[in-house]
Structure 1
Amino acid sequence: MKPVHSIMLTKDETIRRAMELIQASNMQIAVVVDAKDGLLGTITDGDIRRALLDDFTLDDPVSVIPLKVPTVAYQNQTREEMINLALAKDIRHLPVLDESGSVVGIETLDDFLRTEHKEVAVVLMAGGLGSRLMPLTKTTPKPMLKLGSKPILQTIIENYASYGFVNFHLCLNYKAEQIKDHFGDGSNYGVKINYVLEQQKAGTAGALSLLKGKLKSSFFVMNGDLLTNVNFEHLLNYHNRTNSIATMAVKEHDVQVPYGVINVEQNRIRSLDEKPVHSFFVNTGIYCLRPEAINWVPEDRYMDMTDLFSSLISDGQRVCSYQMKDFWLDIGSKKDFDNAQEQFRKAFNA
């Protein structure tokens, strides 16, 4: 996703300013917004030419030009959804909005069809025992269990690679050789893989201490036993935009109380609520971190990501959440795994 501020202007700015932005960006488009970056419309170089032919001047405000209301995308949409939308509408540009309707970037069809490799690292935690999935994991590490025709971990790697993220660090412990034998150096999958071998169980964050000094920019961390079609590029952009040391992708989860709930005050019933539903944000096991966050991970000690986030919060560091509405599947039990096959086919068209 391209930054959008370089082509944004308000309706009170001049046509000259719109022309300058369009020429400087080489995108043939400018985005007109309100005071809160809400999208009002777009202007192209063709719109400017027509305005000049209608006797408007370069010093007239942009508001004299009829604004196009463009097709838009939202930052929680997947890459595939955006490509299909652009192709279906036969358009080259897709302004990207957040949940409040503010413009946060712009996607182009050219960029979609030309995936560039990015230097951002992806750290996948794939060393767990998978005890709750026994006996399936007695001979196979949990990330290598197959959904559809391929291991879970392969789907994760291929999904990241589709966004151009091709530099992986796989943190391994239980049955590490199976994973190494399957993926090798990653070249068969168009990626580069470095293996980080945990000498003992390190938790979902402990192995990061083994990467201290090796990661030079913000990076992803993700559990190697879950599936999602979240737009990883949008997650990274959000993390960088909020200037957070650590960002956790969260998802809303509803829990229904199976009984009627009675609200009582000093023995007096104030209200009744039949089987209410409570909503919570849950940790999805997907994160973006800045390299300095690793300084909070002790060496040779077990640590989970939740412990790391708690330490960062306690020390006053800026920690943010990224609310995702995308498909997300955590496989925590044999029942979850059995149910996952159909959900996987629907989400990934497998």
Structure 2
Amino acid sequence: MFKDIEELFVYRNYSIKQVLEKIDLGAKGIVIVVDEVKKLIGTITDGDIRRAILKGYNLESVIENIINYSPIYATLDMTKEEVKDLFIKKAVKEIPLVNSNGQIIDLISISDILLPDGKENSVVIMAGGLGTRLEHLTKEIPKPMLRVGQDPMLQHIISNFKQYGYNNILISVNYKAEIIENYFQDGFAYGVKINYIKENKRLGTAGGIKLAEDYLDKPFFVINGDIFTNLNVQNMMEFHKNSEFDITVGVRKHTFHIPYGVIDAENNLINSVKEKPSIDYLINAGVYCINPDLIKYIPKDTYFEITDLINICIKNGFKIGSYEIKEYWMDIGKIEDYNKVNEDIYDLVCCDKKGE
């Protein structure tokens, strides 16, 4: 279902340019022509506009003569099977839904009907970063679209959640967003439902979550778009719920090797010497389970990191837990990390196939 259906509304006196702006905003390839009381008049697709331009229309032309005045639509009294038949017989991807008065109340996507509902928990993927540490690799494409093996890193993230039944995906985009949107579109080809959260400026991880607030009414995942992992996300969500945490932070054990002998001394008296010891730390792995009632602590339209949210929640007495990720995990922050995960991908794929 569409988040804010009025974002897709246009009127007969609109120009082609105004309609194109609406199509770009809605990212559905279609807008709905309505009257002053939101009754359905017709539809216009990006294909309709291309054909109009070829006929000689320009960006300032009024849309009245290119409207499809006989649009396919569904009504509230139709069953899911009847709506499904509409999609199949008419070979369309989106169908407006109207009430008994003919007023638009929603836009149904083919993925809403043909894909399984999946689990109730959404997945928010942060894919708007610049990836500057990867230098020339991200000058033309956003970092989550870098290929790991044969597929973009973002596709691996989506596939890992999908295999556990989490197919409601929200992707927060900013830098070169059109590349991601054009590749994945509504997610139907990948067996998931994708909605895009568009950051007009960089908002940080938590700031991006705030934009997705209307979609999130159950505990949800957040993952950075530069994380490559085969984490069992089902186990993590069950742990989050069973532990009754408000936020669960995926953590990774990181061992720091000191290349020297370490002296333990007090008042110039040496108590012990440890030769090249190792120290274990738990580091933030960029994967989280979060309860939706915490979103109210995130300010609107403000750069806000998820660490800021975590610290505020700790101060307010919420339960913040950790879940150790023992599966393969790599934060692709540097070129060396990217090269390493591409070396490892073959073994990971082979292992997955052997386990099937």
Give TM-score scaled by structure 2 length: 0.65
Q: Give the drift of 1:140.
A: 0.8
Q: Give the drift of 1:306.
A: 1.4
Matched residue, 2:205: 204
The answer as to 2:291 corresponding to 1:305 is no
Task: State how 1:8-87 maps to structure 2 within 5 Å.
Answer: none
Task: State how 1:286-301 maps to structure 2 within 5 Å.
Answer: 286-301=287-302
Stretch deviating more after TM superposition (233-242 or 337-346): 337-346
Question: C-alpha separation between the residues in 1 aligned to 2:336 and 2:244?
Answer: 39
Q: Is the 8 A contact 1:119 1:166 kept in 2?
A: no
Question: C-alpha separation between the residues in 2 aligned to 1:126 and 1:348?
Answer: 24
Task: State how 1:132-171 maps to structure 2 within 5 Å.
Answer: 132-171=133-172
Matched residue, 1:86: none
Q: Give the drift of 1:347.
A: 2.1
Residue 220 of structure 2 aligns with an amino acid whose one-letter code is: F
3-state SS, counterpart of residue 136 of structure 2: coil
- Report the aligned-residue RMSD: 1.3
Task: State how 1:1-350 maps to structure 2 within 5 Å.
Answer: 117-349=118-350
Q: 1:172-191 deviations in whole A, cap 9, x for unaligned?
A: 00000000000000000011
Q: Is the 8 A contact 1:121 1:169 kept in 2?
A: yes
Question: C-alpha separation between the residues in 1 aligned to 2:345 and 2:250?
Answer: 20
3-state SS, counterpart of residue 140 of structure 1: coil
Question: C-alpha separation between the residues in 2 aligned to 1:279 and 1:147?
Answer: 29
Matched residue, 2:28: none
Q: Give the drift of 1:233.
A: 0.6
Question: C-alpha separation between the residues in 2 aligned to 1:165 and 1:214?
Answer: 14
3-state SS, counterpart of residue 188 of structure 1: helix
Residue 294 of structure 2 aligns with an amino acid whose one-letter code is: A
Q: Give the drift of 1:298.
A: 0.8
Residue 287 of structure 1 aligns with an amino acid whose one-letter code is: Y
Q: 1:171-227 deviations in whole A, cap 9, x for unaligned?
A: 000000000000000000011000000010111221111122431110000001111
Q: Give the drift of 1:119.
A: 2.2
Q: Is the 8 A contact 1:170 1:196 kept in 2?
A: yes
Q: Is the 8 A contact 1:120 1:218 kept in 2?
A: yes
Residue 289 of structure 1 aligns with an amino acid whose one-letter code is: I
Question: C-alpha separation between the residues in 1 aligned to 2:311 and 2:346?
Answer: 36
Q: Give the drift of 1:257.
A: 0.7
Q: Give the drift of 1:344.
A: 2.0
Question: C-alpha separation between the residues in 2 aligned to 1:277 and 1:132?
Answer: 28
Q: Is the 8 A contact 1:208 1:294 kept in 2?
A: yes
Q: Give the drift of 1:116.
A: 7.7
Question: C-alpha separation between the residues in 1 aligned to 2:346 and 2:284?
Answer: 24
3-state SS, counterpart of residue 175 of structure 2: coil
Question: C-alpha separation between the residues in 2 aligned to 1:130 and 1:260?
Answer: 37
Give TM-score scaled by structure 1 length: 0.66
Q: Is the 8 A contact 1:123 1:171 kept in 2?
A: yes
3-state SS, counterpart of residue 167 of structure 2: strand
Number of aligned residue pairs: give it. Answer: 236
Question: C-alpha separation between the residues in 2 aligned to 1:120 and 1:329?
Answer: 24
Q: What's the % identity of the aligned pairs?
A: 43
Q: Give the drift of 1:343.
A: 1.5
Q: 1:295-336 deviations in whole A, cap 9, x for unaligned?
A: 111111111111211111111111111112111011111111
Matched residue, 1:91: none
Gaps of 5+ in 2: 1-115
Q: Is the 8 A contact 1:122 1:219 kept in 2?
A: yes
Residue 160 of structure 1 aligns with an amino acid whose one-letter code is: F
